[in-house]
Structure 1
Amino acid sequence: MTGENQQFSTRADEHYHPSGAQPTVEDGYYEEYAEKPAAPPRQRFYKKKKYWIICSIITIILIVVIVLLVLFVAFPKIAQSVMNHSGVDVESAQITFTPPHNLRKRDQAPDGNSTFYMDMKSKMTNTGPFSATISFDNPIEVQYNGNTLGYIDLPSTSVAAGSGQLDAFTAFKIKDQAQFASFAREMLAKPTFTWTLKGQAEITAMTRTAKVSLDKDIVLDGK
Protein backbone atom coordinates (compact mmCIF):
# COMPACT_ATOMS: atom_id res chain seq x y z
CA MET A 1 0.00 0.00 0.00
CA THR A 2 1.35 3.37 -0.93
CA GLY A 3 1.79 6.23 1.50
CA GLU A 4 -1.11 8.09 0.02
CA ASN A 5 -3.42 5.14 0.52
CA GLN A 6 -2.29 4.66 4.16
CA GLN A 7 -2.94 8.31 4.92
CA PHE A 8 -6.43 8.03 3.44
CA SER A 9 -7.19 4.92 5.56
CA THR A 10 -6.03 6.63 8.75
CA ARG A 11 -8.26 9.59 8.10
CA ALA A 12 -11.22 7.30 7.49
CA ASP A 13 -10.64 5.48 10.78
CA GLU A 14 -10.41 8.77 12.67
CA HIS A 15 -13.62 9.91 11.02
CA TYR A 16 -15.64 6.87 12.07
CA HIS A 17 -13.74 6.06 15.30
CA PRO A 18 -12.22 9.28 16.61
CA SER A 19 -9.55 8.54 19.20
CA GLY A 20 -10.24 11.61 21.29
CA ALA A 21 -14.04 11.32 21.33
CA GLN A 22 -15.72 11.89 24.73
CA PRO A 23 -18.15 9.24 26.10
CA THR A 24 -21.75 10.04 25.38
CA VAL A 25 -24.68 10.06 27.90
CA GLU A 26 -25.81 6.74 26.54
CA ASP A 27 -22.36 5.26 27.18
CA GLY A 28 -22.45 6.54 30.78
CA TYR A 29 -25.95 5.11 31.32
CA TYR A 30 -24.89 1.62 30.39
CA GLU A 31 -21.63 1.93 32.32
CA GLU A 32 -23.44 2.97 35.50
CA TYR A 33 -25.81 0.01 35.47
CA ALA A 34 -23.16 -2.39 34.32
CA GLU A 35 -20.87 -1.61 37.27
CA LYS A 36 -23.59 -1.30 40.03
CA PRO A 37 -24.02 -4.62 41.97
CA ALA A 38 -27.49 -6.13 42.30
CA ALA A 39 -29.37 -5.24 45.50
CA PRO A 40 -29.61 -8.11 48.02
CA PRO A 41 -33.12 -9.60 48.41
CA ARG A 42 -35.16 -8.12 51.29
CA GLN A 43 -35.77 -10.45 54.23
CA ARG A 44 -39.43 -11.28 54.71
CA PHE A 45 -40.94 -9.83 57.90
CA TYR A 46 -42.03 -13.20 59.32
CA LYS A 47 -38.43 -14.45 59.19
CA LYS A 48 -37.18 -11.73 61.48
CA LYS A 49 -36.37 -12.61 65.09
CA LYS A 50 -37.99 -9.41 66.35
CA TYR A 51 -41.29 -10.41 64.73
CA TRP A 52 -41.40 -13.73 66.58
CA ILE A 53 -40.48 -12.12 69.90
CA ILE A 54 -43.41 -9.71 69.57
CA CYS A 55 -45.75 -12.55 68.59
CA SER A 56 -44.66 -14.59 71.61
CA ILE A 57 -45.31 -11.70 73.99
CA ILE A 58 -48.76 -11.05 72.50
CA THR A 59 -49.63 -14.77 72.73
CA ILE A 60 -48.65 -14.93 76.40
CA ILE A 61 -50.73 -11.84 77.19
CA LEU A 62 -53.76 -13.30 75.39
CA ILE A 63 -53.45 -16.60 77.27
CA VAL A 64 -53.27 -14.79 80.62
CA VAL A 65 -56.32 -12.67 79.76
CA ILE A 66 -58.33 -15.72 78.66
CA VAL A 67 -57.42 -17.67 81.80
CA LEU A 68 -58.41 -14.73 84.02
CA LEU A 69 -61.71 -14.36 82.18
CA VAL A 70 -62.45 -18.06 82.65
CA LEU A 71 -61.53 -18.00 86.35
CA PHE A 72 -63.25 -14.79 87.40
CA VAL A 73 -66.06 -14.28 84.89
CA ALA A 74 -67.02 -17.52 83.16
CA PHE A 75 -66.26 -19.99 85.97
CA PRO A 76 -69.50 -19.44 87.96
CA LYS A 77 -71.57 -19.94 84.80
CA ILE A 78 -69.55 -23.02 83.86
CA ALA A 79 -69.98 -24.45 87.36
CA GLN A 80 -73.75 -23.90 87.27
CA SER A 81 -73.96 -25.47 83.82
CA VAL A 82 -72.03 -28.52 85.04
CA MET A 83 -74.39 -28.88 88.00
CA ASN A 84 -77.45 -28.54 85.76
CA HIS A 85 -76.30 -31.20 83.30
CA SER A 86 -74.88 -33.64 85.83
CA GLY A 87 -76.83 -36.67 86.97
CA VAL A 88 -77.18 -38.65 90.19
CA ASP A 89 -77.69 -42.37 89.65
CA VAL A 90 -78.79 -44.05 92.88
CA GLU A 91 -77.23 -47.50 93.07
CA SER A 92 -78.82 -48.50 96.37
CA ALA A 93 -80.84 -46.91 99.18
CA GLN A 94 -81.83 -48.46 102.49
CA ILE A 95 -84.10 -46.97 105.12
CA THR A 96 -83.88 -47.75 108.82
CA PHE A 97 -85.28 -46.25 112.01
CA THR A 98 -82.31 -47.38 114.08
CA PRO A 99 -79.82 -44.60 114.87
CA PRO A 100 -76.24 -45.15 113.68
CA HIS A 101 -73.77 -46.78 116.05
CA ASN A 102 -71.71 -43.62 116.33
CA LEU A 103 -74.63 -41.75 117.93
CA ARG A 104 -73.32 -40.78 121.36
CA LYS A 105 -75.31 -41.72 124.42
CA ARG A 106 -75.69 -38.14 125.57
CA ASP A 107 -77.28 -37.21 122.25
CA GLN A 108 -81.04 -37.09 122.41
CA ALA A 109 -82.63 -39.99 120.56
CA PRO A 110 -84.63 -38.75 117.57
CA ASP A 111 -88.37 -39.13 117.36
CA GLY A 112 -89.13 -42.19 115.23
CA ASN A 113 -92.22 -40.51 113.84
CA SER A 114 -90.32 -37.53 112.45
CA THR A 115 -86.88 -38.97 111.68
CA PHE A 116 -85.51 -42.04 109.97
CA TYR A 117 -82.09 -42.87 108.53
CA MET A 118 -81.17 -43.45 104.94
CA ASP A 119 -78.05 -45.16 103.62
CA MET A 120 -77.71 -44.10 99.99
CA LYS A 121 -74.98 -44.99 97.54
CA SER A 122 -75.03 -43.12 94.25
CA LYS A 123 -72.83 -42.06 91.37
CA MET A 124 -72.57 -38.59 89.90
CA THR A 125 -72.28 -38.47 86.10
CA ASN A 126 -71.57 -35.84 83.43
CA THR A 127 -69.64 -33.66 85.86
CA GLY A 128 -67.29 -32.19 83.25
CA PRO A 129 -63.64 -32.85 82.40
CA PHE A 130 -62.09 -30.99 85.35
CA SER A 131 -61.40 -32.29 88.82
CA ALA A 132 -63.57 -30.53 91.39
CA THR A 133 -64.86 -30.70 94.95
CA ILE A 134 -68.58 -30.31 95.62
CA SER A 135 -69.72 -29.17 99.07
CA PHE A 136 -73.44 -29.06 99.85
CA ASP A 137 -75.03 -26.36 101.98
CA ASN A 138 -76.99 -28.63 104.29
CA PRO A 139 -79.76 -29.34 104.91
CA ILE A 140 -80.96 -30.29 101.43
CA GLU A 141 -84.70 -30.15 100.77
CA VAL A 142 -86.37 -33.31 99.48
CA GLN A 143 -89.51 -32.87 97.38
CA TYR A 144 -91.99 -35.31 95.91
CA ASN A 145 -94.39 -34.06 93.23
CA GLY A 146 -93.64 -30.49 94.27
CA ASN A 147 -94.33 -31.08 97.98
CA THR A 148 -91.58 -30.92 100.59
CA LEU A 149 -91.19 -34.23 102.42
CA GLY A 150 -88.24 -33.34 104.61
CA TYR A 151 -84.54 -32.61 104.74
CA ILE A 152 -81.31 -34.60 104.49
CA ASP A 153 -77.59 -33.86 104.78
CA LEU A 154 -75.22 -34.70 101.95
CA PRO A 155 -71.46 -35.04 102.45
CA SER A 156 -68.85 -33.32 100.32
CA THR A 157 -67.59 -35.30 97.36
CA SER A 158 -64.94 -35.12 94.66
CA VAL A 159 -65.43 -35.61 90.94
CA ALA A 160 -62.93 -36.13 88.13
CA ALA A 161 -63.05 -37.14 84.47
CA GLY A 162 -66.81 -36.72 84.33
CA SER A 163 -67.91 -38.76 87.35
CA GLY A 164 -67.71 -39.19 91.09
CA GLN A 165 -69.18 -41.16 93.99
CA LEU A 166 -71.81 -39.68 96.32
CA ASP A 167 -72.45 -41.89 99.34
CA ALA A 168 -74.49 -40.64 102.28
CA PHE A 169 -75.70 -42.07 105.56
CA THR A 170 -78.01 -39.34 106.73
CA ALA A 171 -80.95 -38.62 108.94
CA PHE A 172 -84.13 -37.82 107.04
CA LYS A 173 -86.06 -35.21 109.01
CA ILE A 174 -89.73 -35.31 108.04
CA LYS A 175 -91.35 -31.91 107.63
CA ASP A 176 -95.03 -32.94 107.52
CA GLN A 177 -95.96 -36.38 108.84
CA ALA A 178 -99.33 -36.44 107.03
CA GLN A 179 -97.68 -35.52 103.72
CA PHE A 180 -94.99 -38.13 104.23
CA ALA A 181 -97.57 -40.81 105.08
CA SER A 182 -99.34 -40.09 101.78
CA PHE A 183 -96.03 -40.44 99.95
CA ALA A 184 -95.24 -43.72 101.75
CA ARG A 185 -98.48 -45.26 100.50
CA GLU A 186 -97.63 -44.29 96.91
CA MET A 187 -94.06 -45.50 97.31
CA LEU A 188 -95.23 -48.98 98.29
CA ALA A 189 -97.43 -49.16 95.19
CA LYS A 190 -94.80 -48.12 92.62
CA PRO A 191 -91.68 -49.88 91.34
CA THR A 192 -89.77 -46.57 91.34
CA PHE A 193 -90.34 -43.02 92.53
CA THR A 194 -88.57 -39.72 91.97
CA TRP A 195 -87.33 -37.29 94.59
CA THR A 196 -86.17 -33.79 93.79
CA LEU A 197 -83.21 -32.46 95.77
CA LYS A 198 -83.16 -28.68 96.17
CA GLY A 199 -80.61 -26.46 97.83
CA GLN A 200 -77.25 -24.81 97.37
CA ALA A 201 -73.75 -26.16 96.82
CA GLU A 202 -70.23 -24.90 96.25
CA ILE A 203 -68.00 -26.19 93.46
CA THR A 204 -64.25 -25.69 93.83
CA ALA A 205 -61.97 -26.21 90.83
CA MET A 206 -58.78 -24.58 89.57
CA THR A 207 -58.42 -22.70 92.89
CA ARG A 208 -61.80 -21.02 92.32
CA THR A 209 -65.06 -21.58 94.21
CA ALA A 210 -68.53 -20.85 92.88
CA LYS A 211 -71.90 -21.16 94.60
CA VAL A 212 -74.47 -22.99 92.51
CA SER A 213 -78.11 -23.95 92.82
CA LEU A 214 -79.00 -27.60 93.30
CA ASP A 215 -82.16 -28.86 91.60
CA LYS A 216 -81.65 -32.53 90.88
CA ASP A 217 -84.00 -35.46 90.38
CA ILE A 218 -83.03 -38.87 91.74
CA VAL A 219 -84.87 -42.12 91.05
CA LEU A 220 -85.18 -44.70 93.83
CA ASP A 221 -86.72 -48.16 93.98
CA GLY A 222 -90.19 -48.39 95.48
CA LYS A 223 -91.89 -51.59 96.53
Structure 2
Amino acid sequence: MADHEATRGLAVSGDLPLQQQQHHAYSDEPINNESGIQSSVLEEYSEKPPPPPPARFYKKKKYWIICSILTAIIVVVVVLLIVFVFFPMIAQSLMNQSGISVGGAQITFNPPSDNLQRRDEQLNMNTSFYMSMKSQLSNTGPFPATLKFHNPIDVLYNDTLLGTITLPDGSISGGKGELDADTPFLIKNTSYFAAFSKEMLANDEFKWRLKGKLDITALSRTATVDLDKEISIPGKFLL
Protein backbone atom coordinates (compact mmCIF):
# COMPACT_ATOMS: atom_id res chain seq x y z
CA MET A 1 0.00 0.00 0.00
CA ALA A 2 2.88 2.34 0.93
CA ASP A 3 4.63 1.49 -2.34
CA HIS A 4 1.47 2.31 -4.24
CA GLU A 5 1.16 5.72 -2.55
CA ALA A 6 4.84 6.39 -3.12
CA THR A 7 4.53 5.54 -6.74
CA ARG A 8 1.51 7.88 -7.10
CA GLY A 9 3.55 10.60 -5.39
CA LEU A 10 6.41 10.16 -7.77
CA ALA A 11 4.08 10.22 -10.68
CA VAL A 12 2.59 13.49 -9.51
CA SER A 13 5.98 15.04 -8.89
CA GLY A 14 7.14 13.95 -12.33
CA ASP A 15 9.92 11.73 -11.11
CA LEU A 16 8.50 8.64 -12.78
CA PRO A 17 8.88 8.03 -16.43
CA LEU A 18 5.89 8.83 -18.66
CA GLN A 19 5.28 5.14 -19.48
CA GLN A 20 5.02 4.25 -15.82
CA GLN A 21 2.64 7.17 -15.20
CA GLN A 22 0.36 5.97 -18.00
CA HIS A 23 0.41 2.39 -16.65
CA HIS A 24 -0.51 3.65 -13.22
CA ALA A 25 -3.40 5.68 -14.63
CA TYR A 26 -4.72 2.66 -16.48
CA SER A 27 -4.57 0.58 -13.31
CA ASP A 28 -6.87 3.10 -11.50
CA GLU A 29 -9.56 3.09 -14.20
CA PRO A 30 -11.30 -0.27 -13.21
CA ILE A 31 -11.74 0.97 -9.66
CA ASN A 32 -13.34 4.19 -10.84
CA ASN A 33 -15.53 2.35 -13.37
CA GLU A 34 -16.74 -0.15 -10.76
CA SER A 35 -17.68 2.65 -8.39
CA GLY A 36 -19.57 4.41 -11.16
CA ILE A 37 -21.54 1.30 -12.05
CA GLN A 38 -22.52 0.74 -8.44
CA SER A 39 -23.58 4.36 -8.11
CA SER A 40 -25.71 4.23 -11.27
CA VAL A 41 -27.38 1.00 -10.13
CA LEU A 42 -28.18 2.50 -6.74
CA GLU A 43 -29.54 5.63 -8.37
CA GLU A 44 -31.68 3.58 -10.74
CA TYR A 45 -33.31 1.56 -7.96
CA SER A 46 -33.60 4.48 -5.59
CA GLU A 47 -35.43 6.64 -8.14
CA LYS A 48 -38.13 4.04 -9.03
CA PRO A 49 -41.30 4.21 -6.86
CA PRO A 50 -42.49 0.98 -5.23
CA PRO A 51 -44.95 -1.03 -7.38
CA PRO A 52 -48.64 -0.54 -6.51
CA PRO A 53 -50.26 -3.33 -4.47
CA PRO A 54 -52.33 -5.79 -6.53
CA ALA A 55 -56.07 -5.04 -6.63
CA ARG A 56 -58.23 -7.31 -4.50
CA PHE A 57 -60.40 -9.72 -6.46
CA TYR A 58 -63.70 -8.25 -5.19
CA LYS A 59 -62.72 -4.81 -6.48
CA LYS A 60 -62.37 -6.00 -10.04
CA LYS A 61 -65.14 -5.17 -12.51
CA LYS A 62 -64.98 -8.66 -14.01
CA TYR A 63 -65.73 -10.18 -10.60
CA TRP A 64 -68.94 -8.17 -10.19
CA ILE A 65 -70.07 -8.93 -13.74
CA ILE A 66 -69.73 -12.66 -13.08
CA CYS A 67 -71.52 -12.32 -9.72
CA SER A 68 -74.39 -10.42 -11.36
CA ILE A 69 -74.82 -13.07 -14.04
CA LEU A 70 -74.76 -15.92 -11.50
CA THR A 71 -77.24 -14.09 -9.25
CA ALA A 72 -79.64 -13.55 -12.14
CA ILE A 73 -79.45 -17.23 -13.11
CA ILE A 74 -80.07 -18.36 -9.52
CA VAL A 75 -83.05 -16.03 -9.14
CA VAL A 76 -84.62 -17.28 -12.38
CA VAL A 77 -84.13 -20.92 -11.36
CA VAL A 78 -85.62 -20.33 -7.90
CA VAL A 79 -88.63 -18.48 -9.33
CA LEU A 80 -89.28 -21.25 -11.86
CA LEU A 81 -89.04 -23.89 -9.14
CA ILE A 82 -91.47 -21.97 -6.93
CA VAL A 83 -93.94 -21.35 -9.75
CA PHE A 84 -93.94 -24.75 -11.41
CA VAL A 85 -92.85 -27.16 -8.67
CA PHE A 86 -93.19 -25.77 -5.18
CA PHE A 87 -96.37 -23.70 -5.57
CA PRO A 88 -98.62 -26.69 -6.38
CA MET A 89 -97.03 -28.58 -3.50
CA ILE A 90 -97.51 -25.63 -1.13
CA ALA A 91 -101.11 -25.16 -2.28
CA GLN A 92 -101.89 -28.84 -1.71
CA SER A 93 -100.24 -28.76 1.71
CA LEU A 94 -102.29 -25.72 2.74
CA MET A 95 -105.47 -27.39 1.54
CA ASN A 96 -104.64 -30.55 3.50
CA GLN A 97 -104.06 -28.66 6.74
CA SER A 98 -107.05 -26.33 6.41
CA GLY A 99 -110.34 -27.00 8.12
CA ILE A 100 -114.04 -26.55 7.28
CA SER A 101 -116.41 -25.86 10.16
CA VAL A 102 -120.12 -25.97 9.35
CA GLY A 103 -122.01 -23.40 11.39
CA GLY A 104 -125.43 -24.13 9.98
CA ALA A 105 -127.19 -26.35 7.44
CA GLN A 106 -130.80 -26.72 6.34
CA ILE A 107 -132.62 -28.99 3.91
CA THR A 108 -135.49 -27.77 1.79
CA PHE A 109 -137.37 -28.97 -1.27
CA ASN A 110 -137.93 -25.45 -2.57
CA PRO A 111 -135.18 -23.77 -4.59
CA PRO A 112 -133.59 -20.69 -3.00
CA SER A 113 -134.90 -17.33 -4.19
CA ASP A 114 -131.55 -16.38 -5.68
CA ASN A 115 -131.04 -19.76 -7.38
CA LEU A 116 -129.96 -19.30 -10.97
CA GLN A 117 -131.52 -22.54 -12.11
CA ARG A 118 -134.30 -22.02 -14.61
CA ARG A 119 -137.84 -23.18 -13.89
CA ASP A 120 -137.73 -25.77 -16.67
CA GLU A 121 -134.71 -27.34 -14.94
CA GLN A 122 -136.43 -28.12 -11.65
CA LEU A 123 -134.93 -31.05 -9.79
CA ASN A 124 -136.54 -34.42 -9.35
CA MET A 125 -137.54 -34.28 -5.69
CA ASN A 126 -137.44 -38.07 -5.45
CA THR A 127 -133.68 -38.09 -5.95
CA SER A 128 -132.65 -34.59 -4.91
CA PHE A 129 -133.25 -31.71 -2.53
CA TYR A 130 -131.79 -28.29 -1.78
CA MET A 131 -129.31 -27.65 0.97
CA SER A 132 -128.19 -24.37 2.51
CA MET A 133 -124.86 -24.58 4.31
CA LYS A 134 -122.78 -21.89 6.03
CA SER A 135 -119.16 -22.79 6.70
CA GLN A 136 -115.96 -21.25 7.97
CA LEU A 137 -112.54 -22.03 6.50
CA SER A 138 -109.61 -21.98 8.92
CA ASN A 139 -105.84 -22.45 8.86
CA THR A 140 -105.65 -21.62 5.16
CA GLY A 141 -102.17 -20.06 5.15
CA PRO A 142 -100.81 -16.51 5.09
CA PHE A 143 -101.48 -15.61 1.45
CA PRO A 144 -104.78 -14.32 0.08
CA ALA A 145 -106.18 -16.62 -2.58
CA THR A 146 -109.30 -17.38 -4.59
CA LEU A 147 -110.97 -20.79 -4.71
CA LYS A 148 -112.77 -22.28 -7.70
CA PHE A 149 -114.27 -25.73 -7.19
CA HIS A 150 -114.54 -28.31 -9.96
CA ASN A 151 -118.21 -29.09 -9.47
CA PRO A 152 -119.90 -31.35 -8.68
CA ILE A 153 -118.28 -32.33 -5.38
CA ASP A 154 -118.84 -35.87 -4.10
CA VAL A 155 -120.38 -36.36 -0.64
CA LEU A 156 -119.50 -39.61 1.14
CA TYR A 157 -120.85 -41.10 4.35
CA ASN A 158 -118.82 -43.90 5.92
CA ASP A 159 -116.76 -44.04 2.71
CA THR A 160 -119.88 -44.64 0.59
CA LEU A 161 -121.07 -42.14 -2.01
CA LEU A 162 -124.33 -40.46 -1.03
CA GLY A 163 -124.60 -37.81 -3.71
CA THR A 164 -123.09 -34.61 -5.07
CA ILE A 165 -123.28 -30.92 -4.23
CA THR A 166 -122.19 -27.71 -5.95
CA LEU A 167 -119.88 -25.32 -4.11
CA PRO A 168 -119.52 -21.67 -5.10
CA ASP A 169 -116.28 -19.82 -5.72
CA GLY A 170 -114.73 -18.34 -2.61
CA SER A 171 -111.76 -16.48 -1.25
CA ILE A 172 -109.43 -16.74 1.71
CA SER A 173 -107.24 -14.16 3.43
CA GLY A 174 -105.34 -13.96 6.68
CA GLY A 175 -105.63 -17.69 7.26
CA LYS A 176 -109.44 -17.86 7.10
CA GLY A 177 -112.45 -17.48 4.85
CA GLU A 178 -116.13 -18.20 4.41
CA LEU A 179 -117.89 -20.80 2.30
CA ASP A 180 -121.65 -20.31 2.06
CA ALA A 181 -123.46 -22.64 -0.31
CA ASP A 182 -127.06 -22.92 -1.50
CA THR A 183 -126.75 -26.07 -3.49
CA PRO A 184 -128.81 -28.90 -4.92
CA PHE A 185 -127.99 -32.27 -3.39
CA LEU A 186 -128.24 -34.94 -6.07
CA ILE A 187 -128.70 -38.40 -4.51
CA LYS A 188 -126.57 -41.07 -6.20
CA ASN A 189 -127.48 -44.05 -4.01
CA THR A 190 -131.11 -43.90 -2.92
CA SER A 191 -131.12 -47.06 -0.78
CA TYR A 192 -128.01 -46.02 1.11
CA PHE A 193 -129.33 -42.48 1.50
CA ALA A 194 -132.50 -43.89 3.11
CA ALA A 195 -130.36 -45.74 5.66
CA PHE A 196 -128.33 -42.59 6.26
CA SER A 197 -131.49 -40.55 6.86
CA LYS A 198 -132.48 -42.82 9.74
CA GLU A 199 -129.06 -42.44 11.34
CA MET A 200 -129.13 -38.69 10.77
CA LEU A 201 -132.39 -38.33 12.69
CA ALA A 202 -131.14 -40.56 15.51
CA ASN A 203 -127.80 -38.81 16.07
CA ASP A 204 -126.96 -35.29 17.22
CA GLU A 205 -124.12 -35.04 14.71
CA PHE A 206 -122.95 -36.82 11.59
CA LYS A 207 -119.86 -36.58 9.40
CA TRP A 208 -119.62 -36.20 5.66
CA ARG A 209 -116.51 -36.38 3.53
CA LEU A 210 -116.23 -33.97 0.61
CA LYS A 211 -114.07 -35.13 -2.28
CA GLY A 212 -113.20 -33.42 -5.54
CA LYS A 213 -110.83 -30.87 -7.00
CA LEU A 214 -110.45 -27.10 -6.92
CA ASP A 215 -108.23 -24.37 -8.32
CA ILE A 216 -106.32 -22.16 -5.90
CA THR A 217 -105.04 -18.87 -7.31
CA ALA A 218 -102.46 -16.93 -5.29
CA LEU A 219 -99.54 -14.68 -6.19
CA SER A 220 -100.74 -14.65 -9.83
CA ARG A 221 -100.31 -18.41 -10.03
CA THR A 222 -103.03 -21.11 -10.19
CA ALA A 223 -102.70 -24.69 -8.99
CA THR A 224 -105.23 -27.52 -9.13
CA VAL A 225 -105.35 -29.44 -5.86
CA ASP A 226 -107.33 -32.32 -4.42
CA LEU A 227 -110.20 -31.70 -2.01
CA ASP A 228 -110.63 -34.38 0.65
CA LYS A 229 -112.23 -32.90 3.75
CA GLU A 230 -114.32 -34.31 6.54
CA ILE A 231 -117.02 -31.98 7.86
CA SER A 232 -119.19 -32.38 10.95
CA ILE A 233 -122.83 -31.31 10.67
CA PRO A 234 -125.05 -31.07 13.76
CA GLY A 235 -128.29 -32.94 13.08
CA LYS A 236 -130.40 -30.20 14.70
CA PHE A 237 -129.61 -27.81 11.86
CA LEU A 238 -131.33 -30.07 9.36
CA LEU A 239 -134.63 -30.21 11.25
TM over 0.5: yes
54, 77, 80: which is aligned to 1:65? 77
C-alpha distance in 1 between matches for 2:63 and 2:69: 10
- Give the unaligned 5+ runs of structure 2: 10-27
TM-score normalised by L of structure 2:
0.74
Letter in 2 for 1:66: V
Letter in 2 for 1:152: I
89, 95, 104: which is aligned to 2:101? 89
87, 91, 94: which is aligned to 1:79? 91
Which stretch shifts more, 207-216 or 59-68? 207-216
TM-score normalised by L of structure 1:
0.79
* Structure 2 residue 32 is the aligned partner of structure 1 residue 21: yes
* Structure 2 residue 51 is the aligned partner of structure 1 residue 39: yes
Percent identity over paired residues: 53
Q: In the alignment, which residue of structure 2 is the partner of 1:175?
A: 188
C-alpha distance in 2 between matches for 1:135 and 1:30: 88
The superposition leaves residues 136-176 of structure 1 with CA deviations (integer Å, 9 ceiling, x where unpaired) of: 11111100111111110001112233322211111111222
Q: Which structure: larger Rg?
A: 2
C-alpha distance in 2 between matches for 1:211 and 1:156: 14
Change (3 A) 1:36 1:181: same
Q: In the alignment, which residue of structure 2 is the partner of 1:157?
A: 170
Count of equivalent residues:
210
What displacement does 1:134 show? 1.7
163, 179, 193: which is aligned to 2:206? 193
The superposition leaves residues 23-74 of structure 1 with CA deviations (integer Å, 9 ceiling, x where unpaired) of: 4577666555433321222221112344223322321222122112222233
What displacement does 1:189 show? 3.0
Letter in 1 for 2:180: D
- Give the unaligned 5+ runs of structure 1: 1-6, 12-17
